[in-house]
Amino acid sequence: SREPGGYYGRPCSLGQFNTHYIGGVAHELGHAFGLPHDCERDSERPTRGRSLMGSGNHTYGQERRGEGKGTFLSAASALPLSVHPLFTGKRAAELPAKFSLADLEVSQGREQLSIKGRLEGPTPAIGIVAHNDPQSKSGDYDAVGWTTVPQGDGRFELAIGELKSDEYRLRLKAYVASGDSGTIVSTDYRVDSSLRPDVRPLRDTYWLTRASDAFRSRNGNQLDAIAAELKVRFPDDSALQRNVEHLRSLMSPAAPKALDAIDSTAAEVSLADVQFASASVGWGSPLRNQVLPEAGMPCLIRVGGDFFDSGLYAHAPARYRFRVNGQWSVFASQFGLQDGKNGSVVFVVKGDGNELFRSPKVSDHQLRKVEVNIAGIQNLELLVEDAGDGNSSDWAVWVDPTLRRAAAANSR
Domain boundary at 181, 198, 215, which? Answer: 198
Does one domain contain both 68 and 84?
no
Does one domain contain both 402 and 264?
yes
The phi, psi pair for 214, rounded to 5°, reads -65, -40
CB 270 within 8 A of CB 310: yes
CATH label of the domain that carries residue 277:
2.60.120.1060
The pLDDT of residue 78 is 98
C-alpha torsion sign, points 87, 92, 98, 101: negative
Does one domain contain both 24 and 94?
no
Query: Percentage of the chain surpassing pLDDT 70?
Result: 95
d(CA 66, CA 96): 46
Does one domain contain both 81 and 154?
yes
Residue 122 class from Cβ within 10 Å (0-12 exposed, 13-18 middle, 19+ buried)?
A: exposed
Does one domain contain both 359 and 242?
no
CB 135 within 8 A of CB 189: no
Query: Percentage of the chain surpassing pLDDT 90?
Result: 78
The pLDDT of residue 65 is 87
Q: Which domain holds residue 32?
A: 1-73
> From the CB of residue 15, how many other CB atoms can be counted at a distance below 10 Å?
12
Does one domain contain both 238 and 290?
no
The pLDDT of residue 293 is 86
The pLDDT of residue 1 is 46
Tens of pLDDT, residues 50-102: 999 999 999 999 998 888 999 999 999 999 999 999 999 877 666 678 888 88
d(CA 40, CA 20): 18
Confidence of residue 12 (pLDDT cuts 50, 70, 90): confident
Tens of pLDDT, residues 377-395: 999 999 999 999 999 999 9
Confidence of residue 295 (pLDDT cuts 50, 70, 90): low
- Residue 306 confidence (pLDDT) above 90: yes
Q: What is the pTM of this model?
A: 0.77
Does one domain contain both 268 and 305?
yes
d(CA 377, CA 324): 7
Does one domain contain both 205 and 184?
no
Does one domain contain both 299 and 352?
yes
Secondary structure class of 312 (helix, strand, coil): strand
Domain count, the chain: 4
The pLDDT of residue 14 is 82
Does one domain contain both 281 and 379?
yes
Confidence of residue 5 (pLDDT cuts 50, 70, 90): low
- Write down the mean pLDDT value for the chain: 92
Domain boundary at 45, 73, 101, which? Answer: 73
Integer distance in angstroms from the first to the last C-alpha of the chain?
Answer: 70
Domain boundary at 58, 73, 88, which? Answer: 73
Tens of pLDDT, residues 181-236: 988 888 899 999 999 999 999 999 899 989 998 999 999 999 999 999 999 999 99
Does one domain contain both 176 and 142?
yes
